[in-house]
Structure 1
Amino acid sequence: MNIALALKYLYLGADQMKEFEVRDNGHGEQYIAIWNLDKPKPTEEELQAAWVAYQEAGANKPPLMTALEKIQAENAALKKLIEEKDHENKNALFEIYNMLGESSTS
């Protein structure tokens, strides 16, 4: 279990540098060394439950897009926008030509 991440999950917005500090005892075991939150220090069971919930929340997040996927998505959106504007411009030019043709025959 990562106690710091469990605490951040339990107390959203808590500042690890000011409100709590997690340390390792040198044998790979973490513990809460400093607790400055105005809430009771969580029990081992509460920390374990928060750790499980944190992991499940992360597992349910959609995967992050890679830089290449972001660029490809942006390019597709730009291409669609350009095509829409091109279509609008062609329609506008067609209307102008029609108006000019009507005014020359009048």
Structure 2
Amino acid sequence: MMGQKTLYEDKREGLHVVITAEERESGALVIAGYDVGEIVKSIRGDSDYEYYLSVNKDEVQKLMHKISTEQGIAPNFPALLDWLAARYDDEYCFSKIQALLKEMGVEAEFSCW
């Protein structure tokens, strides 16, 4: 992992949620979420839930090009992470980023466990 920004974090009794945007050494972008606690256990049967959106290097380049063209940010990873953190910082950020990628035609792989 090279760079990382926390997009959202909530910690309360029975629940801790953290969602991050990360740059990987491969040039991939990973949006990672981790929910843990008794509330998660009551819903899912296990006390933790991890979920990821992985965008490979070529798709990241496409995303950076589109965002830099439309939003005027520098086409590099630090600027992309800052842009994501500034715009996607609530409890729905994971699904909002998923929708953004789909809207922009950027392929991402979803996985969870």
In terms of Rg, which structure is larger? 1
Structure number with greater CO (CA < 8 Å, separation at least 6) is 2
**TM-score of the two chains, using structure 2 as the length reference:** 0.21
More strand by share: 2
More helix by share: 1
